[in-house]
Structure 1
Amino acid sequence: MPVSNLLVSPPPPLTVTADGCALVAEIEDYLASLPPAARRPVPYVCPLGQVVQPWNADQPLPHRTVLDRIAHRPARPVAVTVAGHLQLTSRYLAAFGWLQGALWDSRGRVCLLGAQAAVLAHGYGTPQTVRRARTQVMEVLHAEGITVSSPDVYNDAPTTRQADVHRLLASAAARAHALRI
């Protein structure tokens, strides 16, 4: 059979007539019956009660100055407190996913240490900030009676869940904030 006989003509264009749009009229009637406040579009609210935002939404972005470009050096890090670093770490984990047994995986998920390293690599804080944040995490773990040699051992424990890591980071951030570090 020749190829020309196999060609199929495209379907006719879709036309909506007044009698064929009863569903549209039904939806419009339903929307008109709602109170005015319910008609306004509402942004998606995540389970934590906030509008979904990037993990670093309230922080300035690190940017290279002209001198940084001339000297071929990276941008100076954005100054963050220890509490700020711990909050960013928790938000990074929430945004990209949590992992046990490895720093990161091919899907972008990270463990607690991987999230701290990623926050630092994105230009927030210094290595000293990360060390002080890990000290605060260890202080909270010991205060709760959890005896581990490092936050990473706690992260990788089979009984630890992502929510446990977020609670730990929130407690450590609150402690660091109270200590003003």
Structure 2
Amino acid sequence: MKTDLLTLPPLDLGPDVSGLVAEIEAYLASLPVPAQVVVPYVCPLGSTVQSWHIGFPLPAPTLLDRLARRSARPVLVSVADHLRLTSRYLHHAGWTQGALWDHKGRVCLLGAQAAVLAHGFGTPHTVGRARNQVMEVLHATGRPVTSPDAFNDAPTTRQADVHHLLDRAAARALSLGI
């Protein structure tokens, strides 16, 4: 005799089953309450794995962009945001000296700025203004170099120095409102 699942009688939760439910609830209530989980403070310079462009919308092509078969318009960012994104990209990809990028994907300061631009954040004008802010900070801190790239490639420069420079340049740009 074949039984169809749709013709089975509904499950009856009579008094026998309700006693079992009450017993399980009593057991669960007797267990110790787990300690409240406190979310730890995560330093912005910490090593939490996240995308380097978090907080910024990705460039999305419009219908007209797709019809014209062109890339999406860049996301407009301020100079300070471009410098912050450059620092994040450097942290994400890794840092190198003496080359725009290497075989492991690490980039120099200029390579990181070019990558941020290539990913659709900012315009060439934004990058130029950001480089001007970096040069202003370099000269204000007594490092008379000919370009940010010369500072990046100096044998005494470390990755932390580049991040610190970008942070100071971003703060300067923010204070100027650009």
Q: Which runs of 4+ in 1 moved over 3 A?
A: 40-47
Give the CA deviation at 1:42.
6.1
Specify the code of the residue in structure 1 equivalent to 2:139.
H
Give the CA deviation at 1:121.
0.1
Specify the code of the residue in structure 1 equivalent to 2:107.
V
Specify the code of the residue in structure 2 equivalent to 1:64.
P
Specify the code of the residue in structure 1 equivalent to 2:56.
Q
Identify which range, 161-170 or 50-59, moves more after superposition. 50-59
Unaligned runs of 5+ in 2: 1-30
Q: Secondary structure at the match of 1:79?
A: coil
Percent sequence identity is 69
Q: Which has the larger radius of gyration?
A: 2
Superposed counterparts of 1:21-170, under 5 Å: 36-37=35-36, 40=37, 48-49=45-46, 51-170=48-167
TM-score, normalised by the number of residues in structure 1: 0.76
> 1:169 & 1:92 partners in 2: Cα distance?
12
Q: Secondary structure at the match of 1:36?
A: coil
Q: 1:44 to 1:106 in 2, by over 3 A?
A: farther
Specify the code of the residue in structure 1 equivalent to 2:58.
L
> 1:46 & 1:114 partners in 2: Cα distance?
26
Root mean square deviation, CA, Å = 2.3
Give the CA deviation at 1:58.
0.5
Q: Secondary structure at the match of 1:110?
A: coil
The size of the alignment, in residue pairs, is 148
CA deviation vs aligned residue, 1:128-173 (integer Å, no higher than 9, x gap): 0000000000000000010100000000000000000000000000
Unaligned runs of 5+ in 1: 1-31
TM-score, normalised by the number of residues in structure 2: 0.77
> 1:70 & 1:87 partners in 2: Cα distance?
33
> 1:145 & 1:137 partners in 2: Cα distance?
13
CA deviation vs aligned residue, 1:84-116 (integer Å, no higher than 9, x gap): 000000000011100000001121100000000
> 2:175 & 2:108 partners in 1: Cα distance?
26
